[in-house]
Amino acid sequence: MLEQENNFRAVNERMTFIYELHNLMKDNNVILIYEGFFSQEITKSVLLMTERKFDAEGLDSSVKKKIFNVMVEVLQNICKHQFVEDQEIPDNPAIFMIGIVDNDYMIISGNPLLTSVIDKIQSRIDKVNTLDKDGLKALYKEARIASQISEVGGAGLGFIDIARKSGNQIEYRFEPINDKVSYYTMCARVSRNASESE
């Protein structure tokens, strides 16, 4: 149990935004990067561009689907949560990136948020990170029955679905910006080999 905990910490410490950016950039393995205002239109454009690229490369269709699934949940999460109390934080816009590192497709997002919500988000991600495939399936089933569509149109099921579809733990980091606001980065990895994701 303790070993698992240390593993989470090690994984999160390894994952700094700059470190991942460096890895992606140095080998020209960034597929797409977008920073700024996010909207449904942006989501559609990003999906279309990525789909076209993967079709052209002949990527395995089940890997493609998993990536697409994760991308939609991540992009729509950004749309719903990109502003802090409906205010844009101009020096810290939201960002979305997709790239390849080793054998994994990395789907990365960043956005500012109120420091006061960090505990809630962290505990949700930590929870899904402890669960295996069957555990995630059971949690999804239970959460979906209990959920309501929120004011911003979400069902609170995104992290569970991201963990299920990616087949890997969700990595994340929170960096303070000022006394009220932090910047949240997350990374979902989808293995290039479909069977490895199971």
Partner 1 sequence: METLIIQGTEDTPTVVLDAANNKYEISGRSLPEDVTAFYKPVFDWIASVSGVSKLDFHIKLEYFNTASSKILLDIFSKLETLKENGIDVTIVWNFSEDDEDMQEAGEEYSELVEVPFKLVSF
| Closest separation in Å from C-beta 141 to partner 1 | 6
Sheet holding 181-191, edge to edge: 30-36, 94-101, 104-114, 181-191, 171-176
Host H or E run for residue 151 = none
Q: Tell me which residue has tokens 């000022």.
A: 178
Q: Is 65 in the site for partner 1 (CB under 8 A)?
A: yes
| Closest separation in Å from C-beta 20 to partner 1 | 25
Measured in whole angstroms, the distance separating CA 53 from the mean position of its chain's CA atoms is 20
Residue 39 backbone phi and psi in degrees, to 5: -150, 175
Q: Tell me which residue has tokens 């089940």.
A: 62
Q: Is 193 in the site for partner 1 (CB under 8 A)?
A: no
Q: Which stretch binds partner 1 (CB under 8 A): 59-67, 102-110, 112-120, 178-186?
A: 59-67
Q: Which stretch binds partner 1 (CB under 8 A): 94-102, 105-113, 124-132, 149-157?
A: 149-157
CA distances in angstroms from 125 to 95, 140, 147, listed in the order given: 19, 13, 17
Q: Is 155 in the site for partner 1 (CB under 8 A)?
A: yes
Q: How many residues bind partner 1 (CB under 8 A)?
A: 29
Q: Is 78 in the site for partner 1 (CB under 8 A)?
A: no
| Closest separation in Å from C-beta 187 to partner 1 | 19
Q: Is 196 in the site for partner 1 (CB under 8 A)?
A: no
| Dihedral sign of CA atoms 65, 125, 39, 109 in order | negative
Q: Is 171 in the site for partner 1 (CB under 8 A)?
A: no
CB 190 within 8 A of CB 105: yes
CB 96 within 8 A of CB 78: yes
| Closest separation in Å from C-beta 73 to partner 1 | 6
Q: Site mask, partner 1, residues 97-136, x = CB under 8 A? A: ----------------------------------------
CB 166 within 8 A of CB 197: yes
Where do contacts with partner 1 occur on this chain (CB under 8 A)?
A: 40, 43-44, 47-48, 61-62, 65-66, 68-69, 72-73, 76, 79, 137, 141, 144-145, 147, 149, 153-155, 157-158, 160-161, 165
